[in-house]
Structure 1
Amino acid sequence: MRRPLLTAAVLTFAGLFPAQAQPVANPVATFAGLDKITGRITRFDVYIDETVLFGALELTPRACYDRPSSDTLQRTSAFLEVDQRSLDGSAERIFTGWMFADSPALNAVDHAVYDVWLIECKTSTNVPPPSER
Protein backbone atom coordinates (compact mmCIF):
# COMPACT_ATOMS: atom_id res chain seq x y z
CA MET A 1 0.00 0.00 0.00
CA ARG A 2 2.92 2.36 0.63
CA ARG A 3 4.39 1.91 -2.86
CA PRO A 4 1.62 3.87 -4.71
CA LEU A 5 1.84 6.64 -2.12
CA LEU A 6 5.64 6.78 -2.46
CA THR A 7 5.37 6.82 -6.27
CA ALA A 8 2.87 9.68 -6.14
CA ALA A 9 5.14 11.64 -3.80
CA VAL A 10 8.16 11.13 -6.07
CA LEU A 11 6.21 12.21 -9.16
CA THR A 12 4.91 15.29 -7.36
CA PHE A 13 8.39 16.23 -6.13
CA ALA A 14 9.92 15.63 -9.58
CA GLY A 15 7.34 17.96 -11.12
CA LEU A 16 8.66 20.83 -9.00
CA PHE A 17 12.07 20.69 -10.66
CA PRO A 18 12.13 20.56 -14.47
CA ALA A 19 14.52 18.07 -16.03
CA GLN A 20 17.69 19.70 -17.35
CA ALA A 21 18.87 18.68 -20.80
CA GLN A 22 22.48 17.67 -21.23
CA PRO A 23 24.63 20.33 -22.92
CA VAL A 24 25.61 19.69 -26.53
CA ALA A 25 29.28 20.18 -27.44
CA ASN A 26 29.91 22.12 -30.64
CA PRO A 27 33.08 22.40 -32.74
CA VAL A 28 32.76 26.14 -33.46
CA ALA A 29 32.32 29.21 -31.24
CA THR A 30 31.17 32.55 -32.64
CA PHE A 31 32.48 35.66 -30.93
CA ALA A 32 32.08 39.38 -31.41
CA GLY A 33 34.92 41.75 -30.72
CA LEU A 34 34.86 45.50 -30.22
CA ASP A 35 37.86 47.69 -30.94
CA LYS A 36 37.22 50.60 -28.57
CA ILE A 37 39.57 52.92 -30.52
CA THR A 38 37.84 52.59 -33.90
CA GLY A 39 34.41 51.57 -32.63
CA ARG A 40 34.42 48.66 -35.07
CA ILE A 41 32.66 45.43 -34.09
CA THR A 42 33.91 42.25 -35.74
CA ARG A 43 32.11 38.90 -35.66
CA PHE A 44 34.27 35.80 -36.12
CA ASP A 45 34.08 32.01 -35.89
CA VAL A 46 36.76 30.02 -34.08
CA TYR A 47 37.18 26.25 -33.98
CA ILE A 48 37.62 24.64 -30.58
CA ASP A 49 41.33 24.52 -29.63
CA GLU A 50 42.21 26.94 -32.45
CA THR A 51 43.95 30.20 -31.54
CA VAL A 52 42.99 33.37 -33.41
CA LEU A 53 44.28 36.90 -33.13
CA PHE A 54 41.88 39.78 -32.49
CA GLY A 55 43.91 42.96 -32.24
CA ALA A 56 46.54 42.23 -29.61
CA LEU A 57 44.49 39.39 -28.11
CA GLU A 58 44.95 35.68 -28.79
CA LEU A 59 41.70 33.79 -28.19
CA THR A 60 41.53 30.01 -27.78
CA PRO A 61 38.15 28.44 -27.06
CA ARG A 62 38.48 25.06 -25.33
CA ALA A 63 34.78 24.10 -25.27
CA CYS A 64 31.48 25.48 -26.53
CA TYR A 65 28.18 24.13 -25.27
CA ASP A 66 24.57 24.97 -25.86
CA ARG A 67 21.31 23.75 -24.40
CA PRO A 68 17.72 23.78 -25.69
CA SER A 69 15.92 27.12 -25.45
CA SER A 70 13.51 25.57 -22.94
CA ASP A 71 16.35 25.08 -20.44
CA THR A 72 16.46 27.51 -17.53
CA LEU A 73 20.26 27.48 -17.20
CA GLN A 74 22.65 29.57 -19.28
CA ARG A 75 21.90 28.20 -22.74
CA THR A 76 25.20 28.95 -24.49
CA SER A 77 28.60 28.85 -22.81
CA ALA A 78 32.23 28.59 -23.85
CA PHE A 79 35.45 28.02 -21.96
CA LEU A 80 37.99 30.52 -23.27
CA GLU A 81 41.64 31.40 -22.78
CA VAL A 82 42.79 34.89 -23.77
CA ASP A 83 46.40 36.06 -23.96
CA GLN A 84 47.57 39.59 -24.64
CA ARG A 85 50.49 39.88 -27.06
CA SER A 86 53.04 42.60 -26.46
CA LEU A 87 55.27 44.28 -29.05
CA ASP A 88 58.25 42.10 -28.07
CA GLY A 89 56.26 38.96 -28.90
CA SER A 90 55.66 37.79 -25.35
CA ALA A 91 52.19 36.84 -24.16
CA GLU A 92 50.41 37.32 -20.85
CA ARG A 93 47.26 35.40 -19.90
CA ILE A 94 44.55 37.94 -19.08
CA PHE A 95 41.48 35.69 -18.99
CA THR A 96 40.69 32.03 -18.42
CA GLY A 97 37.14 31.01 -17.77
CA TRP A 98 33.58 30.54 -18.92
CA MET A 99 31.71 33.05 -21.03
CA PHE A 100 27.94 33.03 -21.32
CA ALA A 101 26.11 34.34 -24.38
CA ASP A 102 22.99 35.09 -22.32
CA SER A 103 25.02 37.19 -19.84
CA PRO A 104 28.04 38.66 -21.67
CA ALA A 105 29.03 40.93 -18.78
CA LEU A 106 29.08 38.09 -16.25
CA ASN A 107 32.58 36.91 -17.24
CA ALA A 108 34.02 39.46 -19.60
CA VAL A 109 37.52 39.97 -20.97
CA ASP A 110 38.82 43.01 -19.07
CA HIS A 111 40.97 44.94 -21.54
CA ALA A 112 41.52 48.66 -22.14
CA VAL A 113 41.23 48.50 -25.94
CA TYR A 114 39.22 45.36 -26.80
CA ASP A 115 35.99 43.74 -25.67
CA VAL A 116 35.19 40.16 -26.66
CA TRP A 117 31.98 38.28 -26.01
CA LEU A 118 30.38 34.96 -26.99
CA ILE A 119 27.54 35.03 -29.50
CA GLU A 120 26.75 31.34 -30.13
CA CYS A 121 28.05 27.82 -30.56
CA LYS A 122 27.71 26.22 -33.99
CA THR A 123 28.10 22.83 -35.60
CA SER A 124 29.61 24.24 -38.80
CA THR A 125 31.00 27.37 -40.41
CA ASN A 126 32.14 28.51 -43.84
CA VAL A 127 35.64 29.10 -42.39
CA PRO A 128 37.88 26.16 -43.33
CA PRO A 129 39.25 24.20 -40.36
CA PRO A 130 42.87 24.84 -39.36
CA SER A 131 43.97 21.51 -40.86
CA GLU A 132 42.83 22.68 -44.32
CA ARG A 133 44.52 26.10 -44.33
Structure 2
Amino acid sequence: MRALILGLALCAGAVQAQQTSTASGAVLRALDKTSGETVDISVPAGQGARLGRLQVVLNECRYPAGNPSGDAYASLEVSQTGQQGTVFSGWMIASAPALNAMEHPRYDIWVMRCTTS
Protein backbone atom coordinates (compact mmCIF):
# COMPACT_ATOMS: atom_id res chain seq x y z
CA MET A 1 0.00 0.00 0.00
CA ARG A 2 2.82 2.39 0.89
CA ALA A 3 4.49 1.73 -2.47
CA LEU A 4 1.21 2.49 -4.26
CA ILE A 5 0.81 5.81 -2.45
CA LEU A 6 4.45 6.73 -3.19
CA GLY A 7 3.95 5.81 -6.85
CA LEU A 8 0.82 7.96 -7.09
CA ALA A 9 2.63 10.89 -5.47
CA LEU A 10 5.47 10.61 -7.98
CA CYS A 11 3.02 10.48 -10.90
CA ALA A 12 1.13 13.49 -9.57
CA GLY A 13 4.38 15.43 -9.25
CA ALA A 14 5.29 14.62 -12.84
CA VAL A 15 2.08 16.15 -14.20
CA GLN A 16 2.45 19.85 -14.91
CA ALA A 17 -0.35 22.24 -14.11
CA GLN A 18 -2.13 23.46 -17.21
CA GLN A 19 -2.64 27.20 -17.66
CA THR A 20 -6.33 28.03 -18.00
CA SER A 21 -8.52 30.98 -18.90
CA THR A 22 -11.90 31.77 -17.39
CA ALA A 23 -14.89 31.86 -19.73
CA SER A 24 -18.01 34.00 -19.59
CA GLY A 25 -20.30 30.97 -19.58
CA ALA A 26 -20.80 27.34 -20.54
CA VAL A 27 -22.95 25.03 -22.60
CA LEU A 28 -24.33 22.13 -20.58
CA ARG A 29 -26.18 19.12 -21.92
CA ALA A 30 -29.01 17.56 -19.95
CA LEU A 31 -30.65 14.19 -20.46
CA ASP A 32 -34.13 13.49 -19.15
CA LYS A 33 -33.82 9.77 -18.40
CA THR A 34 -37.63 9.37 -18.38
CA SER A 35 -38.31 10.70 -21.87
CA GLY A 36 -34.86 10.17 -23.40
CA GLU A 37 -34.86 13.81 -24.51
CA THR A 38 -31.64 15.85 -24.46
CA VAL A 39 -31.35 19.62 -24.34
CA ASP A 40 -28.38 21.98 -24.49
CA ILE A 41 -28.45 24.85 -21.98
CA SER A 42 -26.32 27.99 -22.26
CA VAL A 43 -25.56 29.39 -18.80
CA PRO A 44 -23.62 32.62 -18.11
CA ALA A 45 -21.04 32.38 -15.32
CA GLY A 46 -22.50 33.29 -11.94
CA GLN A 47 -26.05 32.65 -13.11
CA GLY A 48 -28.44 29.75 -13.24
CA ALA A 49 -30.87 27.87 -15.43
CA ARG A 50 -33.91 25.71 -14.70
CA LEU A 51 -34.34 22.14 -15.81
CA GLY A 52 -37.63 20.75 -14.58
CA ARG A 53 -37.40 20.98 -10.78
CA LEU A 54 -33.62 21.45 -10.89
CA GLN A 55 -31.80 24.78 -10.57
CA VAL A 56 -28.34 24.64 -12.17
CA VAL A 57 -25.87 27.41 -11.25
CA LEU A 58 -22.61 27.82 -13.15
CA ASN A 59 -19.97 29.18 -10.77
CA GLU A 60 -17.12 29.16 -13.27
CA CYS A 61 -15.98 27.61 -16.55
CA ARG A 62 -12.29 27.23 -17.47
CA TYR A 63 -10.56 26.13 -20.64
CA PRO A 64 -6.92 25.69 -21.73
CA ALA A 65 -5.27 29.12 -22.21
CA GLY A 66 -5.39 30.14 -25.87
CA ASN A 67 -7.74 27.28 -26.80
CA PRO A 68 -11.40 28.15 -26.10
CA SER A 69 -12.57 25.02 -27.93
CA GLY A 70 -10.34 22.85 -25.70
CA ASP A 71 -11.38 20.72 -22.75
CA ALA A 72 -13.85 22.57 -20.49
CA TYR A 73 -13.89 22.43 -16.68
CA ALA A 74 -17.08 23.75 -15.06
CA SER A 75 -17.90 24.36 -11.41
CA LEU A 76 -21.60 23.68 -10.90
CA GLU A 77 -24.13 23.68 -8.09
CA VAL A 78 -27.38 21.84 -8.71
CA SER A 79 -30.31 21.97 -6.30
CA GLN A 80 -33.86 20.67 -6.46
CA THR A 81 -37.00 22.61 -5.63
CA GLY A 82 -38.46 21.45 -2.34
CA GLN A 83 -35.26 19.79 -1.09
CA GLN A 84 -32.63 21.08 1.31
CA GLY A 85 -29.02 21.16 0.19
CA THR A 86 -27.59 20.43 -3.22
CA VAL A 87 -27.98 17.50 -5.58
CA PHE A 88 -24.48 18.18 -6.95
CA SER A 89 -21.70 20.60 -6.10
CA GLY A 90 -18.30 20.37 -7.77
CA TRP A 91 -16.27 20.43 -10.95
CA MET A 92 -17.24 18.57 -14.11
CA ILE A 93 -14.78 17.93 -16.94
CA ALA A 94 -16.06 17.79 -20.52
CA SER A 95 -13.66 15.04 -21.59
CA ALA A 96 -14.47 12.85 -18.55
CA PRO A 97 -18.12 13.33 -17.54
CA ALA A 98 -18.16 10.13 -15.45
CA LEU A 99 -15.22 11.28 -13.32
CA ASN A 100 -17.44 13.47 -11.13
CA ALA A 101 -20.98 12.74 -12.25
CA MET A 102 -24.22 14.06 -10.80
CA GLU A 103 -26.35 11.36 -9.16
CA HIS A 104 -30.02 12.06 -9.85
CA PRO A 105 -32.87 9.62 -10.58
CA ARG A 106 -34.30 11.60 -13.50
CA TYR A 107 -31.60 13.86 -15.00
CA ASP A 108 -28.00 13.62 -16.14
CA ILE A 109 -26.13 16.88 -16.69
CA TRP A 110 -22.65 17.31 -18.11
CA VAL A 111 -20.52 20.15 -19.47
CA MET A 112 -19.98 20.37 -23.23
CA ARG A 113 -17.81 23.48 -23.61
CA CYS A 114 -17.09 26.95 -22.30
CA THR A 115 -18.43 30.04 -24.06
CA THR A 116 -16.33 33.16 -24.50
CA SER A 117 -18.87 35.66 -25.79
The normalised TM-score by structure 1 is 0.69
Equivalent residue, structure 2, for 1:131: none
Q: 1:104 aligned to 2:104? A: no
Question: Which one-letter code corresponds to 2:75 in the other structure?
Answer: F
Residues 29 and 48, structure 1, Cα contact 8 Å, conserved in 2 = yes
Q: CA deviation at 1:94?
A: 1.2
Q: CA deviation at 1:92?
A: 3.4
Percentage of matched positions with identical amino acids: 31
Q: Which has the larger radius of gyration?
A: 1
Cα separation, 2, equivalents of 1:100 and 1:59: 16
Residues 61 and 80, structure 1, Cα contact 8 Å, conserved in 2 = yes
Aligned Cα RMSD in Å?
2.4
Map 1:1-133 → 2, pairs under 5 A: 21-67=18-64, 75-86=71-82, 91-124=84-117
- C-alpha distance 95-25 of structure 1, shift in aligned 2 (>3 A): same
Residues 77 and 88, structure 2, Cα contact 8 Å, conserved in 1 = yes
Q: CA deviation at 1:21?
A: 4.5
Cα separation, 1, equivalents of 2:99 and 2:22: 21
- C-alpha distance 22-109 of structure 1, shift in aligned 2 (>3 A): same
- Moved >6 Å (runs of 4+): none
Cα separation, 2, equivalents of 1:18 and 1:92: 35
Cα separation, 2, equivalents of 1:58 and 1:91: 12
Structure 1: gaps spanning 5 or more residues: 1-16, 125-133
